[in-house]
Amino acid sequence: MVKFKATLFAAAACFGFAATSAQALDLFGPNSIFNPLPVQQASLPADPAQQVEPTRTLVDDPTGEQAGSITIDTKNRYLYLSLGNGRAMRYGVGVGREGFAWSGRAHIARRAEWPSWTPPAEMIKRRPDLPKFMEGGIDNPLGARAMYLYNEHGDTMYRIHGTNEPDTIGHAVSSGCIRMLNDDVVDLYDRVKIGAPVNVI
């Protein structure tokens, strides 16, 4: 039953987020845009049924973007974080399914650790089986971290976030958000800061 509910919630989780520990936009402060320091292994609640190896690996940067930029290759299901000096960290991701794919430029305007989820009213109307609110945690479809994508028009309603469905990584299954393994999204979250540019191609 828990797995069934998790799958049901994750299918709709992309639209409608309420965050805990959210950060305000700060493009020029000491924590802005990019943290080049190495990070430790993620510390996550144990869930033996969902223990999977992280996908991240250091590669030559194919994007041509500046250090601290995120590029999401939706065709090949990869997210690249440009590190500078021709190198990038590459992560496997899940992307929007048919009818929900998108492309364009945005930036990270908010971040949250173990975000809660509040589906909007229109989603509840379409899906009355969804909860009106879900606390952050290992069973939440947003996973361990969420990064909120904004553009010149404001909130895009798309996020880069973790998942409680690790088997969906590498597939087009979401409502447009970019899914990552919880271990990978914690690593990315610790490397990028508010204001980091995001290019979805």
Domains of the chain: 2-37+52-200 (2.40.440.10)
Q: CB-hemisphere CA count at 13 Å for 88? A: 19
Measured torsion, CA atoms of residues 27, 185, 150, 13, in degrees rounded to the nearest 10: -150
pTM, to two decimals:
0.77
Of the two residues 192 and 121, the one the predictor is more confident about is: 192
> pLDDT tier at 99 (50, 70, 90 boundaries)?
confident
3-state secondary structure of 7: helix
Q: Which amino acid is at 58?
A: L
Question: Is there a contact between 166 and 143 (Cβ–Cβ < 8 Å)?
Answer: no
Give catalytic residue positions. 161, 177
| Closest alpha carbon to 90 in 108, 105, 77 | 77
- Residue entry with tokens 């990584």: 169
Summary mean pLDDT of the chain: 82
The predicted pLDDT at position 13 comes to: 62
Tens of pLDDT, residue by residue over 137-175, are 988 989 999 999 999 999 998 999 999 999 999 999 998
The predicted pLDDT at position 121 comes to: 76
